Amino acid sequence: MSRSGDDPNEETDARFDQWPVDAPDDDRNVSVESRWIGMAGGGAGGTGYVFDPDDEVVYEGELDEDAERVTLLRRSETQPEGDESLGEWMRRVGGDDEWSSLSAYGRGELDDRPVESTFQEKNTTPDQDYAFFGSYTFPGDDGREHTVEREFVVDDADVARPTVTVEERRLVDAGDGEADVLDSRTESFPVGPDHDERSLETVCREWHESHPP
State the burial class of residue 114 (Cβ atoms within 10 Å of its Cβ: 0-12, 13-18, 19+).
Answer: exposed
Question: Taking the domains of the chain in order of start, what are their residue ranges?
Answer: 14-111, 116-209
What pLDDT shows up at residue 99? 83
pLDDT digits (tens, 9 = 90+) for 47-63: 899 999 888 999 999 98
Supply φ then ψ for residue 104, to 5 degrees. -60, -35
d(CA 49, CA 38): 6
What pLDDT shows up at residue 4? 36
d(CA 33, CA 30): 8
What pLDDT shows up at residue 2? 31
**Under 8 Å CB-to-CB from 210, ≥6 apart: which residues?**
none
Mean pLDDT by 10 residues, the chain (213 residues): 40 74 68 86 76 91 89 91 88 76 84 82 63 88 85 76 91 87 93 70 90 87
Query: DSSP strand E in the chain: where?
Result: 21-22, 35-40, 47-52, 57-64, 69-75, 99-102, 116-121, 131-139, 145-155, 163-175, 178-190
- 77 neighbors 16 (Cβ within 8 angstroms): no
What pLDDT shows up at residue 136? 93
Q: HSE-up of 118 (CA within 13 Å, CB side)?
A: 13
d(CA 142, CA 170): 14
What pLDDT shows up at residue 125? 57
Q: List the 145-155 sheet strands across, edge first.
A: 116-121, 131-139, 145-155, 163-175, 178-190
Which DSSP state fits 212? Answer: -
What pLDDT shows up at residue 1? 28
